[in-house]
A = this chain, B = another copy of it.
């Protein structure tokens, strides 16, 4: 009798692996070895070695073999349990022992042909056109066939297994596609009277509070808006960070690829990243032709430059990943928990979709990033405390209309994954507020419990051995300001008393004719 209800489980997809390969040896085999010896070896592979670990009747099989001079040619077929490439590696190892007795070594593996077929129910219109390490893709109604382009080192790196996982991920992503991200209302503020119905960015441009900068999605902030930003920062410090014992740190703002590999962003950040490249060399002579070209044409030769630089990472996107290098590979003393730190040392970047946006959707923006680390209970409890305190700020100081929702965790969204509604402890709470001028809701802040994601990714452990968790919350100064100014307008006399006092008088510095 089966213990689980099989209909509720996802059936394992059937797979078929067909591999033609040769093991290249250090000397000729034909003279040295009795063919019956190899035949015996193959039989033992098929009855034992290539079935180990697989359910009865399953595993891999050498269906054809041939000895030609210094090569042993093999054809291996298998199911999902001992995949043909794993089978080949097992064979190589065992055969090595056998040949060793004849003073022959195995030099390497040559792969002639490797075909993988998967039982495949494509979701929707998912077509797979191109895959790395794949020469040919045949997609039929319920079957996906991949003709691989791999060598021995690719087998060592487990490329075939990762390929299978990749196509499975693509199928899962297609399942989510079209379905909206998860969104569940947690809290809603009182309705508030709106004092303004214009786009605050437009209004600030007219008043010379801000100017368009030279880059896309980038502004230069004059003294008035900067004063508002600093007031918002002060509220965050006074109401949350100081009372909760947060200490300031300075997180890196250039993010090397290794950080994004560990944080998971290297899976999907590409369409939105601001890439950073460094010179291939600092030798001025190497750059002389670029300088000469500029001096002669007054144009920067960007194509020429592209050949002289190399991509090493990108600019800050999510703010906390590079912080984790501070703890990388370390064991934290129990007594230090919970750890609470924040950073406000620089700019963040997103390559946003084209067209003009206001300060609510920028390529370059400014954020205070808050990080807390503890055991599971501490981390969850801290996130609740934070949420209480944010509620106080939005209700009692900024006096805005806003709401809180449980959404797809930010790190999954940034890795290109869809929402998991079933997550209850790990996940993201988004804060949204309505912009009266457009009647759209804007996400202006979040609080996330990231589970053990970062400690795992950066190999950070706790002295006690207990699981280490973390959370983070990003306060976008432009977003806070966009929401506040959209609802309250730019005239300080209409602002809530408490906030007005914190901001003080807005400085007037520039006057243009």
On A, residues with C-beta under 8 Å from B are 130-133, 157, 159, 162-163, 165-166, 169, 211-216, 218-223, 225-227, 229-230, 247-261, 266-268, 270-279, 281-284, 286-298, 300, 302, 305-306, 308-313, 315, 322-323, 325-327, 330-333, 335-336, 339, 341, 345-347, 349, 351-354, 363-364, 366, 416, 463, 507, 509-513
Contact = CB atoms under 8 A, between A and B. Distances in A.
Contacts of A230: 248
A287 B302 contact: no
A322 to B, nearest CB: 6
Contacts of A332: 510-513
Main secondary structure of the interface of A (DSSP, over half): mixed
A407 to B, nearest CB: 20
Nearest to A295: B166
Contacts of A274: 254, 276-278
A311 B277 contact: yes
B254 A227 contact: no
Contacts of A327: 510
Contacts of A326: 211, 220, 222, 510
A296 B132 contact: yes
B257 A302 contact: yes
B330 A512 contact: yes
Contacts of A216: 278
B295 A220 contact: no
A36 to B, nearest CB: 41
Contacts of A225: 250
8 A-B pairs closest in CB distance:
A346-B346, A214-B256, A221-B250, A223-B247, A333-B511, A270-B287, A331-B513, A275-B277
Contacts of A276: 274-277, 315
B279 A351 contact: yes
Contacts of A223: 247-249, 341
Given A133-B296, A271-B282, A275-B277, A306 B305 contact: no
A211 B130 CA distance: 42
B305 A311 contact: yes
A354 B280 CA distance: 12
**Which interface residue of A256, A335, A416, A510 has the most chain B CB atoms within 10 A?**
A510
Contacts of A308: 270
B509 A247 contact: yes
Contacts of A283: 271
Given A220-B323, A226-B248, A258-B214, A509 B366 contact: no
Contacts of A336: 509-511
Given A214-B258, A270-B305, 6 more contacts: A214-B256, A220-B251, A247-B507, A267-B295, A271-B286, A282-B352
Contacts of A163: 296
A271 B287 contact: yes
Contact of A282 (B268, B272, B288): B272
Given A132-B289, A132-B296, A220-B326, A509 B339 contact: yes
Contacts of A325: 211-214, 220
A144 to B, nearest CB: 15
13 contacts: A132-B297, A166-B296, A214-B255, A220-B325, A227-B247, A254-B315, A266-B300, A275-B277, A275-B278, A275-B305, A282-B353, A305-B311, A332-B512
A213 B252 contact: yes
